[in-house]
Amino acid sequence: MPTAPVDCVVVGAGVAGLAAAAELRRLGRSCLLLEAGSRIGGRAWTTHPPALGGAVFDHGASWLHQAEGNPLVSIARAAGDPLRSADGLREWRTYVGSRLADAEELAAYDRAEATLRAALAERAEGAQADVSLAEAAASFAADPWTRTVLAWEGLIAAADPGCLSLRDWHLNSLAGGNLLVEGGLGRFVAARLGAAAGPVRLATPVQRISWQEPGGTVTIGTPHGDITAGSCIVTVSTGVLAGGGIVFAPALPAPVEEAVHALPMGLLTKVALRATGPDRLDLPASCAVDRQVGPGETLMSLHFWPGGADHVVGFVAGATAWDLAREGDAAPAAFCRDTLRTLFGARADRLFAGDAAVVTGWGLDPLTRGSYCYAVPGQAAARSLLAQPLADGRLVFAGEACHSRLGGTVGGAYLSGKAAVGLSCANAPARPGVGCPG
């Protein structure tokens, strides 16, 4: 079916795409928002799985990070969505083997974290060459808590410390409060950002973008026909870009291609198991549990009884998460049960005896190919490079990969989407036709 030319086509209805579409509409520009999948929100997605008794479950993003400056906090408050402090709700427990860490061990853990993070920050801000997070921390290997501190950083970044650019890690280290939106972050994104973005064409994958057409136009090829626009904002993941999910004509400049591949997708897998009995393992509601990581071990952090619910959520990241994902959903669930057994023995086996589990699948999803991206060592500038407009703003990339301070977050994706409109030629003063100024 023929489509009339528009000022801008936005590719992808995740948070960045929704933000870009809303900004274009605010400016009075004509816009088409295209989404390959069957829903909006991207990696912010809330469901109520029967395996969890219908409890709220965020498959992807869960928190509003750096709440004090996060623009989505203002949107939530304006809409009257209740917000809760994730930090205030959680209680922490740390285990050494199968026992709770004692006060002396907890103090040593705190000292190790503070000392290591300060040293890594100093190194990241220095003039030395960018190295991996693991290499920068090598001199602290003798401390028995260093592996645990690094494991947490890898869990947060969705990649192993040996893969992470020290500078990118430092630039994107989060500070400030973390807020939960009642009903789930994915629900909030779909309801609030979706309303501002306007109509979306679902099940409309973009196959080809010809971004230097005569007359300053861009042609976007879809299975339903071509669309002509003045510009195009692309918000798909770097996993989709690196995998050739969209063909660009002409090919992207070499530095842009290099930036895409310098920002591979990490993987953070969530596994949720519902308790089959009344036992709560002597843990309070919303209890976060970790353990001291030994040589060759992988950290799976656990969140017990979130908001008073009767399930636990395990988090595993990096190479282990990828390996488990390739084995199928039963493998991450078994890994979670093994972790529970290590901590609580047969008591955990009895409590989580059911086979039902909810396992997130971002790694094998062709529309994402991972959870969120990270920069490899030596490539801390890749995010900024990828965000630079091409062909005088005819083609602009946006998303969590393109924010150099809030990479991997919903807030970063939102800000990147809005910023992309300012960099796009669709932001130019209204003019006849759809071509961008030459």
Predicted confidence (pLDDT) per residue in 243-293, tens digit: 999 999 999 999 999 999 999 999 999 999 999 999 999 999 999 999 999
The C-alpha atoms of residue 380 and residue 385 are separated, in whole angstroms, by 10
Q: Per-residue confidence of the chain (438 residues) as pLDDT tens digits?
A: 457 899 999 999 999 999 999 999 999 999 999 999 999 999 999 999 999 999 999 999 999 999 999 999 999 999 999 999 999 999 999 999 999 999 999 999 999 999 999 999 999 999 999 999 999 999 999 999 999 999 999 999 999 999 999 999 999 999 999 999 999 999 999 999 999 999 999 999 999 999 999 999 999 999 999 999 999 999 999 999 999 999 999 999 999 999 999 999 999 999 999 999 999 999 999 999 999 999 999 999 999 999 999 999 999 999 999 999 999 999 999 999 999 999 999 999 999 998 889 999 999 999 999 999 999 999 999 999 999 999 999 999 999 999 999 999 999 999 999 999 999 997 776 545 567 655
Distances (CA, A) of 134 to 58, 154, 166, 249, 268: 30, 10, 8, 39, 19
What is residue 438's predicted lDDT score, i.e. its pLDDT? 53
pTM for the predicted model, two decimal places: 0.97
What is residue 432's predicted lDDT score, i.e. its pLDDT? 52
- For Cα atoms 414, 420, 426, give the angle at the middle one, nearest 5 degrees: 130
The C-alpha atoms of residue 364 and residue 423 are separated, in whole angstroms, by 32
- Domain borders along the chain are 6-45+185-263+374-427, 84-177+268-359
**How many other C-beta atoms are found inside a 10 Å radius of the C-beta of residue 106?**
16
Residue of 249, 190, 281 lying closest to 395 (CA atoms): 249
Ranges assigned E (strand) in 256-406: 265-266, 268-274, 287-291, 301-304, 311-317, 358-359, 372-373, 395-397
What is residue 435's predicted lDDT score, i.e. its pLDDT? 73
CATH class given for the domain over 6-45+185-263+374-427: alpha beta
291 strand-pairing partners: 95
Residue of 350, 184, 180, 357 lying closest to 280 (CA atoms): 350
Fold match flag (6-45+185-263+374-427 vs 84-177+268-359): no
The C-alpha atoms of residue 367 and residue 40 are separated, in whole angstroms, by 12
**How many other C-beta atoms are found inside a 10 Å radius of the C-beta of residue 121?**
14
Tokens standing for 324?
């488990």
DSSP H or E run through 232:
strand 225-234
**Which CATH fold topology does 84-177+268-359 show?**
Polyamine Oxidase; Chain A, domain 2 (3.90.660)
3-class DSSP state of 85: strand
DSSP letter, residue 193:
I
The C-alpha atoms of residue 204 and residue 265 are separated, in whole angstroms, by 23
